[in-house]
Structure 1
Amino acid sequence: MKLTFLGAAETVTGSRYLLEAAGLRILIDCGLFQGTKNLRLRNWTPLPVDVGTLDAVILTHAHLDHCGYLPVLTRMGYRGPVYCTRGTRDLCEIMLRDSARLQEEEAAYANRHGHSKHRPALPLYTVEDAERALELLNARDFDVPKQLNEHACFRLLPAGHILGAASVVLHVEGKVIAFSGDIGRPDDPIMRRPMPLAHADYLVVESTYGDRLHGKTDPAAELAEVFASTFRRGGIVVIPCFAVGRAQSILHYIAQLKAAGRMANVPVFLDSPMATSVTQLYGRHVGEHRVSSTEAHAISHAAQMVRTVDESKAILGRHGPMVVIAGSGMATGGRVVHHLKAFAPDYRNTIALVGYQAAGTRGAALAAGAPEIKIHGEYVRVRASVANLSSLSAHADYAELLSWLRSIPEPPQRTFVTHGEPAAADAMRRHIEETFHWRCEVPIYLQTVELPGTADELAANSCADVAHSMPADPDQPANPSA
């Protein structure tokens, strides 16, 4: 068996892993690189794999750094199955179409205003490419084995984080190879806790917050303080927000704050057609989250949903106090960029960062206190306050990741720490080695490792007992997708 790290190595984005085993070539995740320019350029570089030789793609979840490269893959000729959970399928239908539309719009904007060095500026992929990718999605229930061939099968386990998020557990050539995906928090207000692993011979684990612990501050209290201080100045709170997961958490807290009288009755705008559509999905996946029907109704009515470009432009002419929630979460594109351009120069306003900010993004620059940020080819002065609200993260911190790993009774033969900035990944490696004494390493980009398998007769039987190898978890329904 061979495992090649085509992404999420030495960086927190671009999740792509190529597993070659049992006569198969399987791509686990197919994500976009985000952040610094040298990383973004990888999206334009041909995948160092002949896509015609790929047998399957398996997605952990629907964030673009895990699924956003699929339209490029299909444009390159991939026509095989793309396995994922039902929640991930439903989210991908929203995410990939929206991502393609934004890419087309941004290319058109750059061509109209001359902001690109390329003539003409082109989108990474088109809506047509996205539609072709969506046709390949093959939805699976959680924790139900799927046979790939005589010697290989896989199943998807709930990982928390966002709707549909899964850890991928492959039984190949008599060995268990597990990919954590992004692990959610055990006390997330919306998502259920991630399901633990019972066994892994080889493990690939994320490390987004491998060097950090989340604060113990109540997220609702943090938001209430930001709102109150900004509204006293007559200002506007701009929240760059991931449309999937984070937007719904913020709306959940806003609904609670308003119901309790802890927040002024100011206008709240959700300026993201994608987030609006995602919010409506929660009623179709009730087994995956903790939200009641009453709470789901409150979330969907906590803000004015902004869909059209004209409605979005109208917000730019309004005055505070108000709240504007818009994508993207790291301010790399989308409608939030226009709001930052309009509202960052005003000292009365606040930019609230509520998620991970990858190096090289506008969000990371804001978090670091940059006096100006570059938008549409020009520098915009940042006079607004910047608030970092880490308690709203949907990623497990290193202590929560260690708790999740503790369920594995026997040490994996090898553990690979990925999906983190270099310092975070190395810190997570140290935490795992010092806590469990496992053989642990941080792979580099494009590294290939060999993973010894087992005799064929054992491999042929390895899938038979997959459904019975998991410990019971009282927080998980028997089948969250059912």
Structure 2
Amino acid sequence: MSDHDNTTLHDRVTAEVPPELDVTDVQYEGPDLVIYTNTPREFAKDGDILSTLARTLRKRVTIRPAPGTQSSPSEAEAKIHEIVPDDAGIQNLDFHSTVGEVLIEAKKPGLVIGSYGQTLREITQAIGWNAEVIRTPPIESSTVENVRNFLTQERDERREFLERVGEQIHGEPTKDVDWVRVTTLGCCREVGRASFLIHTPNTKILVDCGDKPGAEGEVPYLHVPEAAPLNSIDAVVLTHAHLDHSALLPLLFKYGYDGPIYTTEPTRDLMGLLTLDYLSVASKEGRTPPYSSEQVRKAIKRTIPVKYGDVTDIAPDIKLTMHNAGHILGSAVSHFHVGNGFYNIVFSGDIHYEPTRLFNGAVNDFPRAEAMIMESTYGRRNDYQTDTDESEQRVHEIINETYEQDGTTVIPAFAVGRSQELMLVLEEAMREGDIPTMPIYLDGMIREATAIHTAYPEYLRDGLRQRILHEDENPFLADQFQQVDGGQEMREEIASDDPSIILSTSGMVTGGPIMSWLELLGPDADNTLLFVGYQAEGTLGRRIESGRTEVSLNGRGNADRLTLACRIESVSGFSGHADRAGLEEFVGEMNPRPETILCVHGDDQATDQLSSALYQKYNVRTYQPKNLETFRFP
């Protein structure tokens, strides 16, 4: 940013604040406008000043004390404990003098913040430090702890990075915005390797960068001229953490990208968890991992978290707003406002339109949305999911019938999303006597992913959020849930023991601990393998669901091939994706409705049939793109 721009910005801010408030410096850090002041206590007295500044300047605004204006950390610590009620359960205070911030970790952050932020303002008034509050997860999460510690260690370098990004974002666009293009780099007429490029005369934004389940080596087309070289990309937006959207993000940093990733906070943590596991699985299966754990850390370090509903500048000519997608924790429908009112594009990501036990339904209310890139996973004519109550009833029946045969029910499940949904269903069913109380074993990353859910209750459905915040009502803490942490030996004990329920990754039977459970329990007709999630084409899960009983375990155990004798069942209704009716409703209830819709993230039939239906029903232009097509708007 030039001195002239900085002076102008400083003058604008000074003009907006009362004369008794001293502004020493103004600078951008990423999308945020940071105001340094010698009078932090005075700023804190006025509860409306921040929101007024944000509205007037149309920026996210942070106030920071200038060095030397704060109490000493020991004085500040005593004062914080004096102001904040004991019930808040403060666990840790972390002072960062370079930026004048204190990070307060508490079991009940709401009590630290106070009504309308009153307690936080009182803290700043008393000590001069800017206070940030984070929640202690009700279930200990090594991922959340590691990410927080890592970002704390990297704070100074991260600040330099944010200043660099801030200069890029808040510079003037060099060219008029009179077009915007979207190029499909994956995920068209297929499920997996989601990746799209938004291109304006000034800017390139990559949306998602995933792998394709069951198809090793099929990666997004990142080498094409639109995307290459990767350091020509200005920013990356991640809609959610599932590997078909996030797996190859760290690869970008291996090949020259060094810019920001915009996503929600829980998606950042889950992306770290899932990509590190992705490397671990590749290594165990004798494949060469496509990147290293160092690149995963780089991706985490370069992530700029975005809250639902916050309008965020991510380029000189693009603003991003993320909204709840109802799919998994932190998943987002991403709205891009291009140019100064020029054009608006929505990426649905993966959506669930109706509320579930875990999440409120996807948001489809935007001021403007001229074009939409929309998922079509269940877009076929007959892709109607069973009513949730019916689905749960069917799961109860299958578990009861298996239990009566002295058998065990094995449920392959995604670590993130379906597992937590099933945990809520099973906990309630046992509590209410609909199924017998028995151990529910969690294998793979399910327990850790559940802990991350409890760290971010504000992203969960309203009623569930309240239950998690009251320890004695937290359904995820039920005694039945037991982690499989003893490896193969423990699995063999469980398999030979009394009836139980096993939730195990991977959800599409493409590797991981589910392979052990197939080997141990699959040959016994008393046991049940129960599918509750989407099985993509090319995966072992799809082949078994389609009736294949002779399966290959890729060299595991004594025999490569195995004959399944167990009962195979599938129950729809637990998917994190909207069914055909939900997809149609999502579009039908939008106001205004998009003029153009690209149907992606579905196989050939699903994208074709949804595209036709939306055109006929709502008279909008629809397309069923192939990979490597470019669409110009308007």
- Tell me if TM exceeds 0.5: yes
Structure-to-structure mapping, 1:82-101, within 5 angstroms:
82-101=261-280
2:534 to 349, 356, 360: 356
Per the alignment, residue 455 of structure 1 pairs with none
Query: Retained in 1: the 8 A contact 2:357–2:421?
Result: yes
1:192 aligns with 2:360: yes
- How far apart are 1:266 and its partner, in Å? 2.2
Q: What number of residue pairs does the alignment pair up?
A: 435
Distance 2:239 2:473 in 1: 24
Q: How far did 1:149 drift?
A: 3.0
Whether 2:563 is the aligned partner of 1:381: answer yes
Listed one character per residue, the Cα deviations across residues 316-374 of structure 1 (whole Å, up to 9, x for unaligned) are 65344111111011111211112112222221111110101100101101110112122
Query: Is 1:316–1:342's contact at 8 Å kept on the other side of the alignment?
Result: no
Which stretch shows the higher mean deviation, 263-272 or 357-366?
263-272
Does residue 417 of structure 2 align to residue 245 of structure 1?
Answer: yes
Aligned to 2:207: 28
Aligned in 2, Cα 1:150/1:77: closer, same or farther, shift over 3 Å? Answer: closer
In the TM superposition, 1:37-56 aligns within 5 A as 37=215, 40-43=216-219, 47-48=223-224, 49-56=228-235
Whether 1:445 and 2:627 are equivalent positions in the alignment is: yes
Residue 391 of structure 1 aligns to which amino acid in structure 2?
Answer: G
1:423 corresponds in structure 2 to 605
Question: Counterpart of 1:11 in 2: which secondary structure?
Answer: coil
1:140 matched to 2:312: no
Alignment check: 8 A CA contact 1:185 1:394 kept: no
Q: Is the 8 A contact 2:406 2:526 kept in 1?
A: yes
TM-score, length basis structure 2:
0.66
C-alpha separation between the residues in 1 aligned to 2:490 and 2:188? 37
Q: Does the CA contact (< 8 Å) of 1:271 and 1:335 recur in 2? A: yes
Contact 1:245 1:394 in 2 (8 A): yes
Retained in 2: the 8 A contact 1:283–1:296?
Answer: no
Which amino acid in the other structure matches residue 76 of structure 1? Y
Residues of 1 paired with 2:490 and 2:268: CA distance? 28
- Tell me the SS of whatever aligns to 1:279: helix
* Alpha carbons 1:59, 1:84 under 8 Å: kept: yes
Q: Quick one: which of 322, 328, 333 aligns to 2:500? A: 322
Tell me how far apart the structure 2 counterparts of residues 89 and 369 of structure 1 sit (CA, whole Å): 38
Deviations 1:421-452 (A, max 9, x none): 11111111122112101110100011122223
Out of 547, 550, 556, the residue aligned to residue 369 of structure 1 is: 547
How much has 1:308 moved relative to structure 2? 4.8
Does residue 1:156 correspond to 2:322, yes or no?
Answer: yes
Change (3 A) 1:429 1:351: same
Matched, 1:277 2:456: no
Distance 2:474 2:592 in 1: 44
Rate the CA distance shift 1:53–1:296 in 2: closer, same or farther, 3 A. Answer: farther
Shift, 1:126, TM fit: 3.2
Match of 1:123 in 2: 289
48-57 vs 251-260, greater mean Cα deviation: 48-57
From 299, 302, 305, give the equivalent of 2:476. Answer: 299
The correspondence for 2:373, drawn from 181, 196, 204, is 204
Q: Secondary structure at the match of 2:186?
A: coil
Q: Is 1:347 matched up with 2:525? A: yes
1:42 aligned partner, one-letter code: E
Change (3 A) 1:163 1:21: same
Residue 386 of structure 2 corresponds to which residue in structure 1? 215
Q: Which runs of 5+ in 2 are unaligned?
A: 1-179
How far residue 23 of structure 1 moved from its aligned partner, in angstroms, is 1.0
Within-5 A mapping of 1:94-113 = 94-107=273-286
Determine the C-alpha separation between the residues in 1 that align with 2:192 and 2:301.
Answer: 25
- Equivalent position of 1:332 in the other structure: 510
For 1:430 and 1:45, how far apart are their aligned partners in 2?
Answer: 27
Q: Answer whether contact 2:336 2:344 (CA < 8 A) is retained.
A: yes
Q: What displacement does 1:90 show?
A: 2.2
Contact 1:100 1:130 in 2 (8 A): no
CA distance in 2, matches of 1:182, 1:430: 20
Contact kept? 2:412, 2:506, Cα under 8 Å:
yes
1:263 is paired with a residue of what secondary structure?
A: coil
Structure-2 separation of matches of 1:63 and 1:93: 11
**Partner Cα distance (1:409, 1:19) in 2:** 23
Unaligned runs of 5+ in 1: 108-120, 453-482
Preserved contact between residue 101 and residue 126 of structure 1 (Cα < 8 Å): no
Alpha-carbon shift at residue 161 of structure 1 (Å): 1.0
State the distance in 1 between where 2:232 and 2:346 align: 22
CA contact (8 A) 1:238 1:325 kept: yes
Normalised TM-score (structure 1): 0.86
- CA distance in structure 1 between the partners assigned to 2:473 and 2:190 by the alignment: 35
Structure 2: how far apart are the matches of 1:343 and 1:78?
45
Q: Aligned to 1:18, what secondary structure does the other structure show?
A: strand
Do the aligned partners of 1:183 and 1:206 also contact (CA within 8 Å) in 2? yes
Q: Which one has a bigger Cα radius of gyration?
A: 2
- Cα distance in 2 between the residues matched to 1:240 and 1:323: 11
Residues 228 and 105 of structure 1, relative CA distance in 2, 3 Å threshold: same
Which residue number in structure 1 is paired with residue 239 of structure 2?
Answer: 60
Answer yes or no: is 1:181 the counterpart of 2:360. Answer: no
RMSD: 1.9
Match of 1:395 in 2: 577
Contact 2:525–2:566 (8 Å) recurs in 1? yes
Give the Cα–Cα distance (whole angstroms) in 2 for the partners of residues 146 and 316 of structure 1: 49
Tell me by how many angstroms 1:22 deviates.
4.0
Aligned partners of 2:246, 2:453: CA distance in 1, in Å? Answer: 20
Query: Against the structure 1 CA distance between its residues 281 and 296, is the aligned structure 2 distance closer, same or farther, given a 3 Å change threshold?
Result: farther
Q: How far is the alpha carbon of 1:185 from its aligned partner?
A: 3.8
- Displacement after TM superposition at 1:159 (Å): 0.8
Structure 1 residue 46 displacement after superposition: 6.1
Question: Which residue in 1 is equivalent to 2:460?
Answer: 289
* Contact 1:25–1:53 (8 Å) recurs in 2: yes
